[in-house]
Structure formats: structure tokens, C-alpha cells
Amino acid sequence: MTEETVKIAEKIDIHRGLKGVYFDRSAVCYIDGRAGELRYRGYSIHDLAQSSTFEETCYLLINGELPTKAQLNQFDVELKAARALPAPVLDVIKAVRTAHPMDVLRTAVSALAAFDPEVADNSREATLRKGVRLTSQVPMIVGAHAQIRAGKEPIAPDSKLGHAANFLYMVTGKVPTADTAKLMDTDMILHAEHGANASTFAARVVAGTEANLHAAITAAIAALSGAAHGGAAENVMHMAKEVGAPENAAEYVKKKRANKEAVMGFGHRVYRAEDPRARHMKAGVEKLSREMGQPQWYQILEALVQAMKPYSRLGVNVNVDFYAGVVYYLNGIPADLFVPIFAVGRMPGWLVSVQEQLENNILIRPLTLYNGPEPRTYVAIDER
Ligand SMILES: CC(C)(COP(=O)(O)OP(=O)(O)OC[C@H]1O[C@@H](n2cnc3c(N)ncnc32)[C@H](O)[C@@H]1OP(=O)(O)O)[C@@H](O)C(=O)NCCC(=O)NCCS
């Protein structure tokens, strides 16, 4: 390196992991990590979790305003009309059925590109139409795979059931109670959108190259599958089982920290305060584990929260995935379907972020600062 390039390099600030970097503007999601606030299109996550439905929140995210009754009915009709998978995509799911459900989901969404008549049309209207179709098809894939890998035929969707209830029905084969359906609906509202998280960013990077929506969503699913992002809920359940009893929680945390390992379901890139979504699932775990005669799960989680209290001053608090996993478990959902549930919920967030990217598109292409070898002479293979 010349003296000049060394001087330039010294002045460059590197933001590893793009921590704290703003790369664009967005009118969709407001997050205040210090205050622990989250809003979709200006509406508090607490109001939406308590009073909205996934369908209504989805409409809000996509269109920017809450729907009238007529608009919501129409949107519901569109979502339900798209509850179908082409037969060749079901064959793809059958062919890869032994893979992790996230790998199956990624493969099936990628395959859907071959069957969507508007796949190459990146206009706003076509992107939204494709996005609504994918919002319905993603849970169809997860539900169909759950049955296929158990050696059964996929369960046909039930048009009387809403998005969350129908999803549970297709996965478990049982029509959920109103309470269970509401809890899953709330869970999907809480997961629907979250700014420039890793999977959404991945989707925007792909959309920024003018690739199509299916390509962007496939990338988002790939990014979500990792333990540091979507995988946490699944790992929290493994952790709760490993801890086994509330009195073991403190020792478990001590060991994890001694090995410099993260305790799953704690910490967040953005939140320094408690993740505002967590409390809505916490109430669900408390109620469900009591009703099902398995109060130990709630007690184990609360003991872990106590054991993690000292880390709270570092900004490490419970996140949304901490309680979600136990809710899914108590509903009889296998642990490897926890991340796909996150994907089902996040679909509208991915869609609207891709749409924002396309509306004011720019290729996302940052830089890395070279720190490899100095220039050197190529030596022919026989002379090495
Ligand atoms: C989500 C996550 C990847 C964020 O990582 P990050 O932005 O690099 O974390 P921070 O900068 O806030 O970390 C600050 C400190 O707290 C520690 N910390 C962060 N998360 C922790 C956790 N879950 N358990 C214990 N300590 C943790 C870090 O090791 C760091 O300590 P150090 O400065 O001594 O290295 C990380 O918190 C994590 O792996 N959590 C567990 C997985 C999870 O629940 N993911 C779901 C997110 S919704």
C-alpha cells in the first residue's frame, strides 16, 4: 500500500455489521431502541397487538392506512383466493421433505417464481399483487410440508378460518380454539414488520438489483433461517428443556456466560430497553402453561429472566422470541416450525420493504477496506 492509501484507510470508519448505520428512509416502521417503542405506520404495536388482526395489520402495512370494513373484507377475499399451491410446487416440497422446514420454505418460494404469471413485472401494482399471493402461499407451504413429512396429504385450507387460525389448522390438523387462534394472530402481528432487520435488508439488497419479488423473498427466508435472527424461538425451547426446572436457571446462565455464549431470546441489535413485543407473548405463555397444567415452562422462563437481570444494564433484555417458542410448543407445534412461523408473520414486512426499495431504487453496494497481501508476482504452478 502506498503512504497515501494508508492515510486514506486510517480515516475510514468501518461499521462492522452496519451497526448504527442508516442506509435509507422508510415510512413504515418506527423503532426507538432506547425507549422500547415500536410503531407500524404510526400506530403503536401495543394497540395493534391488543385490537387489530393480522389481516388488518397487513393491509395497514401495505397501504399505509387502516382499512374500512369494506376494504378489509375485500382484502380478506384476495388473501383467501390465493390460498393454493401449484401441483409442481407440492412435488418440490415432497422431493425435499426431509430438509429443515426453512430450507423447504426457501426452496418452495423460489419454485413458485416459475408459476406466478407476473413474476417479471416489478411495477408497484404487480409487486403488491404478487406479495398478497405470497403472503397466502407461505403458510400454505409450511402447512403442506408439515403434513407431507408426516406421510399425509396436505390439509385443504378452510375459507371460514382467518389467516392465523387456518395456518394452525393446516399445520396441526385441528381447528384451534378462539383463544389459541387469537394468540397466533397476535404473534403474527408482532412479527409482521421490523425495519431494516437482517432478512428485510437481504430482501432490499436483492430488490435493489431489480431482481423480482420471489428472488427477494427467497433471500429474506435464507437470512431469517439463522440462529441470530429467526432461529432464536426454536433455540429458546431447546434451552427451556435443557434448563429443566426453574432452580437450574441461574447455573445455566452462569455457564453460558463463562463460555461467552449468548443466552437465546435475550439481546437485540436495536433494543436497549425490553423489546416491546415480548410482553404480549409473555401473557400468552403464562395463561397457556397454567391452563395446560404445565406451569413449569412459564416458571423456567421467568427464572431465566431473573438470572439475566445483571445484563439488563448492558442493554440485554428479553426479545420477542423469548416467549413465542413456548407458546408454539404448548400448541403442539414441532420446534423446527418456529422459524417458519416467523416467516409467515414477516411476509407483509418483507413485501412493503421491497416495495419501498423499488419506488426509489438504488443499487445497494457498500465497500470493504482491503487488508490483504501487498502486490505480489504470480508464480506459475510448476514453479511453486
Ligand atoms: C441478537 C444479537 C445477535 C444482537 O447482537 P449484538 O447487536 O452484537 O449485541 P450487543 O451489541 O447488544 O451486545 C452487547 C453485549 O451484550 C452481550 N450479549 C448480547 N446478547 C446476549 C445474550 N443473548 N446473552 C448474553 N449476552 C449477550 C454481548 O456479548 C455483548 O457483550 P460484550 O460487549 O462483552 O461482547 C444477540 O443479542 C444474540 O445473539 N441474541 C441471542 C439470539 C436471539 O435471541 N436472537 C433474536 C433476536 S430478535
Three-state SS for 32?
strand
> What are 345-383's pLDDT values in tens digits?
999 999 999 999 999 999 999 999 999 999 999 999 999
Which residues have CB under 6 Å of ligand 1? 228, 232, 262-269, 311, 314-316, 319-321
Q: Which atom of ligand 1 is nearest to the CA of 267?
A: 37
DSSP letter at 318 equals B
CATH superfamily of 232-330: Cytochrome P450-Terp, domain 2 (1.10.230.10)
Residue 241 and residue 326 in contact, taking contact as beta carbons nearer than 8 Å = no
Residue 44 sits at φ, ψ, to 5 deg, of: -60, 140
Q: Which atom of ligand 1 is nearest to the CA of 257?
A: 25
Q: Can you list the alpha helix ranges (DSSP code H) found in 64-177?
A: 69-81, 87-95, 101-112, 124-148, 163-172
> What are 117-143's pLDDT values in tens digits?
999 999 999 999 999 999 999 999 999
Span 273-300, average pLDDT = 91
Architecture of domain 29-227+337-359: Orthogonal Bundle (1.10)
Residue 309 has pLDDT above 80, yes or no: yes
- Identify the burial level of 43 via C-beta atoms within 10 angstroms of its C-beta, where 0-12 means exposed, 13-18 middle and 19 or more buried: middle
- How would residue 265 be classed by pLDDT, with cut points 50, 70 and 90? very high
Calculate how far, in angstroms, residue 228's C-alpha sits from the geometric centre of ligand 1. 9
Span 206-213, average pLDDT = 98
- pTM, two decimals, is 0.93
Q: What angle do CA 336, 274, 310 make, to 5 degrees?
A: 95
Domain residues of the chain, as ranges?
A: 29-227+337-359, 232-330
107-128 b/e with 16+ CB inside 10 Å = b? bbbbbbbeebeebeebeeebbb
> What are 60-99's pLDDT values in tens digits?
999 999 999 999 999 999 999 999 999 999 999 999 999 9
Q: At what angle do helices 124-148 and 163-172 cross, to 10 degrees?
A: 30
Q: Probe ligand 1: pick from 190, 191, 316, max atoms within 8 Å of CB?
A: 316
